Structure 1
């Protein structure tokens, strides 16, 4: 494991895939700002947006994954969502509804996304270097596009060419999800570099042959768990190409 206060020299990748929470942005912002915002609106969205195909699909998935009856009422659906939220479970229907609610909040101007100070400069630098940038997050693609489209420095989406979530790729801790992403991208695994703060996700990517970097930021939610034997940084500024 590398010292988080030193530079980490890596082969220049063809593609960088970034996690969001704990990597580019604080998990505490998500838990303290975004989670409560969505919690307050679950019931309204299920009641008033039932004709939205994404909401209808999420409703069906809540019933199936929660083992609920087909004729369950909205209050029971909300209780299941809140249970998953309280347990920080990365359930696809939960993430789908959160993504829709947050997108609306960003559009209304209620929300602005958070980034660590080194994140946006690194994203801009890598884009200017011609590295293909993509996102893999447990947050839905809808949430990702809202997040990067409403940063403190404006719309960052033009710098990204792809977005992956648990619905279009699979669970983030499984190597099969990284294999699926690799197949879509069409680049050999040794040309892919994944950044995350969670060792289980890094292990999944490495099992498929990807390069990995563990992001360990002082004070963030999973800092004390470490990143195993993956190259370790506390700032994107520490990454150099060799």
Structure 2
């Protein structure tokens, strides 16, 4: 049975005997015995022959209070943790599992939260509405995005030498002045030689970095070639729709959502057949086998020709939904994407998606990624219903829908024509150069900043 701590005392340094009474009485026999982690269930950790829950599998993330795993950023897990004086953490179920001076706290999201260089350690303490005792490696203060770092020099002889932290709350940072952080939550200059008398007890004089938000106020993202490999869509999603469209329509034509899509495909086929001899005009009876056969033919032609047609995208979206939910397909996003989206989201910058794929398909792609559900970070979605991606009017409409000036929106894409269209509408644009993306024009190279990693936008 786990003890419950309030958010007010979550990171305090003192604990009464009563706070640990229930935890210390927990018998080790309640837990599975083990020799190493592989003997434990998934995500559990073997400590001193006992499997404890909540093995940490996360990137650099701050401490935060949590009740369930969904309260934690990224792949962090909500679990009891030993929070030690040097900023490290291990799993625990009772105080005795922790090193001397550490606490066993319930409901704590713990990431690595620690950046180590030759001369100093910098430990993230970016949490809201709670205090963390940074004595020994920083000062005691309420941590905010602006003051989300405790700095400790690894050697007292290095006091006064500039140190910086690259693992803190906020988006990016600019170098400040040698400082310590005071009890009143303000940085205090401590001089080039490190005036320790100006620092809180246990703190060393290091270089404080003020958090800095990016120039854009809204982030608008393309999918293929930007957040997701083109090969995933080309080699996984499109072939799935091509191979399974006949069986899918035969088995599901009676569904209301599929009937609606079939009607849209019939109208689209009649329109496209006038200009494309490869397209068949389907039978008028939309529930007939002949109509479905004609539509299967047309859908496969459009997929081969990589057509960006709304009715086609809606059909693919429904088919992919079934594939995602059944576990047949897991979507791909580049590993550099999620950490940046989490940082952008943490400073209340809304993130939108604009893709030729239907809104439904977009939601599914970000819900069923190999990194888990990413839709929690997204504020909205746009597809070709708002307009073609190569027309500036589409981006003007998006800015109007979002309610922000076009100049405050950053659009990321891998297609130069889309970047030019967004620029014409007044948006900021950058082009992603990733392996497998199509080459861009020389004009685009001189007009836009090109990046190969999402970190470059911060």
Aligning the two structures, in what range does the TM-score lie when normalised by the shorter sequence? 0.7 to 0.9
- Residue number among 360, 371, 375 corresponding to 1:157 in the alignment: 375
Q: For each residue in 1:172-231, what CA deviation from the matched residue of structure 2 results, as whole angstroms up to 9, or x when unmatched?
A: 1111211221111111101111100011111111111111111111x3131465781221
Aligned to 1:112: 330
Q: 1:155 to 1:192 in 2, by over 3 A?
A: same
Query: Per chain length, whose mean CA-contact separation is higher, i.e. which structure has more relative contact order (CA < 8 Å, sep 6+)?
Result: 1
Alpha-carbon distance in 1 for matches of 2:342, 2:226: 16
Q: Which deviations, in whole Å up to 9, do the C-alpha atoms of 1:36-56 show, x marking residues without a partner?
A: 111122123333333444433
Identify which of 154, 165, 189 aligns with 2:406. Answer: 189
Change over 3 Å in CA distance of 1:170–1:57 after alignment to 2: farther
Counterparts of 1:78-117 in structure 2, within 5 Å, are 78-117=296-335
Count of aligned positions:
229
Q: Sort the Cα spacing of 1:128 and 1:154 in 2 relative to 1 into closer, same or farther, 3 A.
A: same
Partner of 1:3: none
**Per-residue deviation, 1:78:** 1.1
Does the aligned pair in 1 maintain the 2:283–2:291 contact within 8 Å? no
1-structure distance, mates of 2:328, 2:229: 18
32-41 or 21-30, which moves further after superposition?
32-41
Aligned to 1:37: 240
Q: Is the 8 A contact 1:215 1:227 kept in 2?
A: no
* Bigger mean CA deviation after superposition, 227-236 or 54-63: 54-63
Unaligned ranges ≥5, structure 1: 1-9
Do 1:199 and 1:226's aligned partners in 2 also have CA atoms closer than 8 Å?
A: no
Corresponding position of 2:354:
136
* TM-score, normalization by structure 1: 0.88
**DSSP-derived class of the 2:431 partner:** strand
CA shift, 1:62, in A, is 2.3
2:423 to 184, 206, 209: 206
**1:164 & 1:38 partners in 2: Cα distance?**
22
Report the counterpart of residue 221 of structure 1 in structure 2.
437
Residue 43 of structure 1 contacts residue 75 of structure 1 at CA under 8 Å; is this kept in 2?
A: yes
Q: Could you tell me how far apart the structure 2 residues matched to 1:136 and 1:94 are?
A: 17
For the structure 1 residues 149 and 226, does the alpha-carbon distance in structure 2 shift closer, same or farther, using more than 3 Å as the test? farther
**Higher share of residues assigned helix:** 1
SS at the partner of 1:21? coil
